[in-house]
Amino acid sequence: MFGIHQGIDHAVFRPAAMGYKQVVPRPLRSGLRNALSNLTEPFIFVNFLLQGKPGKAVETLGRFVVNSTFGVGGLFDVAKTKDFKLPHRPNGFGTTLAFYGVGPGPYIFLPFIGPTTLRDLLGNSADDALLPLVAGKPFNSMEYQLITGGIGGLDLRAESDADLRALFDGAVDPYATLRSVYLQNRAAEVEEAKGHAATAPQQAAPELTDPLNDPELTGTQPEPPAPQSDAPELRDPLDDPEGTPAPQPPAPAPQP
């Protein structure tokens, strides 16, 4: 599947995405991206409630209201500015399942979808079905699905092109590389959702010493200590009373 996807990507997806990036002005691309992202806020709100995080749920709802009104239907991300301070917080049913202990299941790579797991595939399907199911038309129409899916897919492929090239260039096994990166990123997102900070292993700090003798600071190795010798240290006999013969008393004068 991965090989088929790569072939289709090189022949169709990437040229179309780069053409989209060349033809559509940056402000318009950004506005469409913001509008599509704004439509995800309602199910993000629901998932924060399901995870028992009412504070973040209220912030997400406020963000949706602000961008839908002051942001002209979400074309402008007004909510993230310093006046509102409501940043976008990604979330979904896949993360909610993981929050309650559902494992990722097998890793899957699907053409037109990309890397995922069984859990995330089910979660993303629920995310995609929520808005059409609740809001109805036009969100449940095939035309809407094709247009939004096409624009979102082209924009995502164009924006991630540099990252994909950096990831695959020089990779011995591109499939294994992508799998590893995806699973690590999702694990970090799940840990963050659970309230666990994902941090790199800490290393003990080196002991601080004199920079003249510290090879980590000078880049050179210090001189090794001179080997110890069992022989007594030689000193100047003029300065060392132990190095000169003790003065002898004068010989007695001969008796007459």
pLDDT of amino acid 10: 92
The H-or-E segment that residue 226 falls in is: none
Q: Which residues contact 51 (CB under 8 A, 6 or more apart)?
A: 91, 95, 96, 99, 193
Judge whether 219 lies within some domain. Answer: no
- Block means of pLDDT (10 residues each) for the chain, length 256 residues? 88 95 96 95 95 96 97 95 94 96 95 92 92 83 90 94 89 92 95 73 39 42 51 49 51 52
Q: How many domains does the chain have?
A: 1
Does residue 242 sit within a domain?
A: no
Report if residue 82 sits inside a domain: yes
Q: Which long-range contacts (CB under 8 A, 24 or more apart) does 159-167 make?
A: 161/14, 161/17, 161/18
Query: Distances from the Cα of 222 to the Cαs of 166, 186, 206, 207, 217, in angstroms?
Result: 40, 46, 16, 15, 11
Integer Cα distance of 77 and 56 in angstroms: 18
| Dihedral over alpha carbons 115, 183, 88, 54 (to 10 degrees) | 120
CA distance 101 to 8: 36
Whether 227 is covered by a domain: the verdict is no
Query: Per the omega criterion (within 30 degrees of 0), is the bond before 90 cis?
Result: no
Whether 31 maps to a domain, the answer reads yes
Tell me, yes or no, whether 216 lies in a domain: no
Domain of residue 33, residue span? 2-193
Contacts 24+ apart (CB under 8 A), 171-175: 174/2, 174/6, 175/2, 175/109
Amino acid identity of 188? A
pLDDT computed for residue 154 by the predictor: 94
Give a yes or no: residue 255 inside a domain.
no
Instruction: State residue 201's pLDDT score.
Output: 39
pLDDT value of position 227: 53
- Which pTM was predicted? 0.71
Residues counted in the chain: 256
What is the per-residue pLDDT for 247?
A: 52
Contacts of 70 (CB under 8 A, 6+ apart): 76, 78
User: What's 169's DSSP letter?
Assistant: T
| Domain assignment of residue 210, yes or no | no
